[in-house]
Structure 1
């Protein structure tokens, strides 16, 4: 009797281990560093720059993802993954040695670049190394690892911070990064037949950087500077399109973000992620300052979206044996709409916080269902020699969802708080982990701010119906 190989069967054990370690490292850093910000602020000062410790990482991760995509196709995912793991580990270790916030932000840029290349190489490796029947399970496993680390990282960080200092959150990168390299260097796929000559489109990368950074600033400010930054986004975006059309090998091919089916496969999950993270990033503040929960109780609030995402991704991998991926994405969007709507209704009604959590869980299930199915459709639509580019473009769009969602949530929340209190300083201090007594006025303003974020998040989730409908129309036309 022949048994079907699994992700940890002998032929796939090493590459699966390498991918899991890489995903775990990136997920841990993304969550654990946020937990360490209060200690970090007390040690290095400059509370006003704390957000850039996170933003710099996200910005560089998203940008380098699209730079790494063509390199994965040209030289193979193995070389890119090994180099990225080394950069991530060494820059992370160096970040633990700094005594200056500006140096830390610079190193977080480098580390974010390493994480972007790690993710790009991992996505390509999943598409190239596993047979088609294992690919959905492999992507679901990645989501599970991400979810586990998202749930465990705050607890791990708390233990580390209690027995050592914030610096050890960064020091741990070095040994784990070296382990990534050892397991990947003989197992990751090499370059594919017909691969392009290695090259980097620096002009395109620079324009993409301007678009990304200006978008973050525009969404974060929500003032007159937003209009200036949006103008910069428009000009840089237009120049990028002109450049991409005239360049033989642009950093980001327009086909992979604007052509069918890539546009719908990217936009649907991106809008869903933007919606969910706008609310989830501030759920801890909502239940602590707005609802009076203790710090220990509030820390668990972020897990509902993560657990839902993991549940949805694994359910998606099981459903793909019986249903078409487009139908699974549609089901995911329906769950996302129900979830974001539920969160907004319960927040607006100032009712049970359990309803808010249930909404976040349903949103997470929807994202897991949709993103896993979208990745399988992406593989089916792309030649193996271009899978690095296509996968990186897809991940770049989702990264923008994370970044813009977080920035938009902060901007809307602080806008409402500022109007009600006349100052956003108390809430900024709470976000920085400082001891602030959240009196009735602060609690009310936080609840109102979170409600506004939840309503806007539902509207963003609703916008995902447009690309999803286009994808269904395309699928129906092809099957006719």
Structure 2
């Protein structure tokens, strides 16, 4: 053997050959892809979390305070639509070209937000920012599915979860710091260097089309129906004029089903939602996110209004579910080194169900606040184990040519699940407080960030209402056991059975 032959040789003494170290997310072939994907996640999470901190300063500067909520709402709506519509774009153009366009457009939209001379203009630029941010999210998820092999994909999603967790604290903190040294416009300008860095790292390394079939023609009519459905569905989740919005949501959903069955290249293929190989993965994830995140959304309101904790502790409380989620995502990624993702999702559902019940019991029993936090940490663990393993499994079943559509459909359903879980929690809480006291203004004040000034009757009603809301959402989490079990049994029966009819 030549002296410079790179092949390993057996050492003396009869010891086995030295194995090369396993490749990881930051090893040579994957380092730049990992950094690019994590940067896109950081962009999306900061953009999602930071603007709320700047709303008072924006209102003071631009006036038209009645439009302030729309700076948040329009971005959410636009991003939700863009995530779904980006699927066929990614499949047609490839991740790399879609990424390039999205990063450039997002940077331009961020600059436009910072330069907005009035609130109506800011709302319009926030819509553009939401569209581009939605594409950025879709690109990050699809790139993870395409760039990493099955064995590394769970670890990539664990890293993504860690970024979301860190940004849950850092995003508002960075925004607050920017507001102390400059104006609200700086909150938007922070996006620019981060987006430029993401573009520089990922410009040439993210997956290209590599011989996929020609891009499908853009489904204009289907996209229009999707926009109507998304706006109506999210409006319904927020409780806005349900008598009007509910029929619109149902009609738009029915119209899209009819359209998708007739159109050769619909923006969302029904099979990617309903086929056996996908639907149970969608269902278990939706149940976990609706139950877990919905329960967590009103925890600060409960702590301030019913338990009289400090504002800081109430704000900090939402992190226990996030930390549990992130921790479980890493545990899940390690478990998937030895076990199928379907089995890990089943184990996550087995953790999720009792944890959700424990969260409800701790609130209804009025136990010490630290025990409530322990229950929510466990609840986050169930959500994290289910959601990350299900997504990695879903992408492992997808062909490269459909990765964008499948991933985007799943992301869209996740958004709807979180919205409706939060809506259910709010509806139950408000109903109980209204029935007990006849006045929900104190709860509305708490939601708006006002200092708590609740009577003992209102505090008791709030605690009971939140406990009942957690009980309802615990039923949703328990329901996750059914699709999780189907997924696990199908995988045990063999790949062909797990693939089903999709």
User: Which piece of structure 1 moves more, 399-408 or 440-449?
Assistant: 440-449
> 1:366 & 1:424 partners in 2: Cα distance?
32
Instruction: Say if 2:127 is the partner of 1:109.
Output: yes
Deviation, structure 1 residue 359: 2.1
| Rg larger in structure | 2
**Partner residue, 2:180:** 162
Change (3 A) 1:7 1:296: same
User: Any residues of structure 2 matched to 1:365-380 within 5 Å, and which?
Assistant: 365-380=381-396
Q: Which residue of 1 aligns with 2:288?
A: 272
User: Structure 2 vs 1, CA of residues 51 and 411 (structure 1 numbering), >3 Å: closer, same or farther?
Assistant: farther
Retained in 1: the 8 A contact 2:282–2:413? Answer: yes
The equivalent position to 2:369 in structure 1, one of 353, 360, 377, is 353
Alpha-carbon shift at residue 138 of structure 1 (Å): 1.2
Contiguous gaps of at least 5 residues in structure 1: none
Which of 328-337 and 43-52 deviates more?
43-52
- Work out the CA distance in 1 between the residues paired with 2:424 and 2:79: 19
Whole-angstrom distance in 1 between the partners of 2:379 and 2:130: 26
- Per the TM alignment, residue 11 of structure 1 is displaced from its structure 2 partner at its CA by 2.7
User: How does 1:230-241 map onto structure 2 within 5 Å?
Assistant: 230-241=246-257
Distance 1:431 1:118 in 2: 30
How far is 1:95 from its partner?
A: 2.5
Equivalent position to 1:23, from 31, 38, 41: 41
Q: Which residue of 2 aligns with 1:255?
A: 271
Q: CA deviation at 1:160?
A: 2.8
Structure 1, 298-307 or 444-453: larger mean CA deviation: 444-453
Q: Which residue of 2 aligns with 1:178?
A: 196
Partner of 1:90: 108
Measure, in 2, the Cα distance between the counterparts of 1:36 and 1:437: 25
Tell me, yes or no, if the aligned pair for 2:216 and 2:265 is still in contact at 8 Å. Answer: no
Q: 3-state SS of the aligned residue for 1:221?
A: coil
Aligned residue in 2 for 1:62: 80
TM-score under structure 1 length normalisation: 0.92
User: By how many angstroms is 1:431 displaced?
Assistant: 2.5
Contact residue 58 and residue 403 of structure 1 kept, 8 A: no
CA distance in 2, matches of 1:421, 1:76: 56
Deviations 1:37-81, CA, capped at 9 Å, x for gaps: 444455556666554433332222221112111111111101111
- Mapped partners of 2:331, 2:178: distance in 1: 34
Q: Which moved more, 1:25-34 or 1:463-472?
A: 463-472
Q: CA, structure 1 residues 333+51, in 2 after alignment: closer, same or farther (shift >3 Å)?
A: farther
Give yes or no for contact 1:73–1:388 (8 Å, CA) kept in 2.
Answer: yes
2:419 aligned partner: 403
Q: Secondary structure at the match of 2:309?
A: coil
Residues 209-218 or 162-171, more deviating: 162-171
Instruction: Indicate how the Cα distance of structure 1 residues 356 and 47 shifts in structure 2: closer, same or farther if over 3 A, else same.
Output: farther
* Structure 2 match to 1:308: 324
Mapped to 1, the partners of 2:340 and 2:41 lie a distance apart of 27
The CA distance in 2 between the partners of 1:281 and 1:40, in whole Å, is 25
Please list every run of at least 4 consecutive aligned residues from structure 1 whose deviation after the TM superposition is greater than 6 angstroms: none
Of 111, 121, 129, which aligns to 2:147? 129
Name the residue aligned to 1:196: 214
**Tell me, which stretches of 5 or more residues in structure 2 are unaligned?**
1-17, 498-502
Scaled by the length of structure 2, the TM-score of the pair is 0.88
1:228 aligns with 2:224: no
The alpha-carbon distance between structure 1 residues 429 and 287, as it changes in their structure 2 partners (threshold 3 A), is: same
Tell me the equivalent position of 2:490: 474
The answer to whether the Cα contact below 8 Å between 1:37 and 1:432 also exists between their aligned partners in 2 is no
CA contact (8 A) 1:55 1:403 kept: no
- Between stretches 258-267 and 170-179, larger displacement belongs to 170-179
Alpha-carbon distance in structure 2 between the residues aligned to 1:369 and 1:467: 15
Cα offset for 1:367?
A: 1.7
Evaluate the alpha carbon distance shift between residue 50 and residue 460 of structure 1 in structure 2; reply closer, same or farther with a 3 A threshold: farther
- Asked if 2 retains the 8 angstrom alpha-carbon contact of 1:412 and 1:449, the reply is yes
Provide the rounded CA distance (Å) in 2 between the counterparts of 1:93 and 1:294: 37
Between the two proteins, the alignment pairs up a number of residues equal to 478
**RMSD after superposition:** 2.4
Aligned to 1:339: 355
2: CA distance, partners of 1:239 / 1:259: 20
Residue 394 of structure 1 is matched in structure 2 by 410
